[in-house]
Chains A and B, each alone.
Chain A
């Protein structure tokens, strides 16, 4: 089982990278990848939210929704949990790291609507629906951790590239978002190289 979990972790982080091969969560990917520090902060916040959300959501699914035959309430209950977690992250950051809180700005509360977060929570309960109790929880958490680590890797890499792009002589029509989108596309192609790893 340990081997399976390691494979899952690497697979979720690199091979099925949430941004570069599933195209989820592009908004913060383009929005807060201007500086490496901010991007790393965003990545850390997303890791926290996705991992905890995976655990809590699959627990709620297992303990409440499935026994009560209320699985159609997945979306609404999961988004409730995610919103609360984001609120919690916001409080913690405001208290502990005011500068990061200011740098993330509107993108911090927007983690709530980051489709990667809800996507992971929903995919977990779909993919591992056959697994029983504890196994599903473990797989969900590891999948959440891997996915969010993939998000963090992608956004930090992107921020590093963007910091260098800033100083380049880019055609005026490509300056700003267009060159960032082209870069994202090239990164996605590069990440295709991981497809054969597993």
Chain B
């Protein structure tokens, strides 16, 4: 192998590349499209992780939609309140910034609390496993399957499967909503970050049936509803739910709950 051959090859490819680069540079000047500079400015205030939580194809598409007026300036949850305000200033519109939200998993059926009905050796993915009759080894048909489709969906490392149940890291969660979309059991919801007391169960069976499958399930006894002074807790379809708007975080429901399903 001759060293000059290598140099020649480098020169040819480099030369062709340089020529093409120059031509493209000239063409780029000639065909320059005037873009709205606000798009660039807005883009800088978005989270930049292309999580898709806003419903657009990515941060660039979202910035364009914001400038065009088809998206509200605060649709980018990961960017946070500060950036939403900054975007509002760029676009000259006022922005209503809501409370910070976080994802919350409505299940507390960890491996030691939930009954196992079988041994499952199938595909380790919630969405695929949910297609199979019986779907998982846990006896509860409503609860977290623990295969971690939400973990894979999360771009911020904010949700993990701990002891068979997905748990959200409130500090890291940016409420992009990616996990809520992939959970086949619809267990994950976005709640205000300040809400301290929430019902960690989604089982709508009657109390006896719930008790048979999980020690941490809501049995729909209604004690929480009776004890709430603010009317924030309601039991419908054998399942308690807490309205974060009315809840004052007094903690009485959690205290009185016989199965300690309210966090």
Contacts and interface: CB of A to CB of B under 8 A. Distances in A.
Contacts of A84: 20, 23-24
Given A68-B8, A70-B9, A80-B16, 12 more contacts: A65-B12, A68-B12, A70-B8, A70-B12, A73-B9, A76-B13, A77-B16, A81-B20, A84-B20, A87-B24, A94-B31, A94-B33
B13 A80 contact: yes
B258 interface: no
A88 interface: yes
Interface string B7-29: 01100110011001001100110
A88 B12 contact: no
A77 B31 contact: no
Contacts of A65: 12
Nearest to A101: B33
Contacts of B23: 84
B24 A73 contact: no
Contacts of A81: 16, 20
A77 B33 contact: no
B31 A60 contact: no
Nearest to B30: A91
Interface in A68-112: 68-70, 73, 76-77, 80-81, 84, 87-88, 91-92, 94-95
Contacts, number: 38
A73 B28 contact: no
A6 interface: no
The B contact surface, by secondary structure, is helix
Interface in B59-113: none
Contact of A88 (B16, B24, B33): B24
A95 B33 contact: yes
A64 interface: yes
Nearest to A77: B16
B20 to A, nearest CB: 4
- Residue among B8, B17, B31 facing the most chain A CB atoms (10 A cut-off): B31
Contacts of B5: 69
A60 B24 contact: no
Interface of A: 60, 64-65, 68-70, 73, 76-77, 80-81, 84, 87-88, 91-92, 94-95
Contacts of A87: 24
The A contact surface, by secondary structure, is helix
Given A84-B20, A84-B23, A95-B33, A77 B12 contact: yes
Contacts of B27: 88, 91
A102 B200 CA distance: 45
B23 to A, nearest CB: 7
A106 to B, nearest CB: 9
Given A68-B8, A81-B20, A87-B24, A92 B31 contact: yes
Given A80-B20, A81-B20, A84-B24, A95 B12 contact: no
A122 to B, nearest CB: 16
Given A81-B20, A84-B20, A91 B9 contact: no
A84 B9 CA distance: 20
Contacts of A77: 12-13, 16
B145 to A, nearest CB: 26
B8 to A, nearest CB: 6
B105 to A, nearest CB: 32
Nearest to B20: A84
A91 B29 CA distance: 10
Contacts of B20: 80-81, 84
B31 A73 contact: no
B16 A60 contact: yes
A94 B35 CA distance: 11
Contacts of A88: 24, 27
A66 to B, nearest CB: 11
Contacts of B13: 73, 76-77, 80
A182 to B, nearest CB: 24
A69 B28 CA distance: 33
A91 B27 CA distance: 8
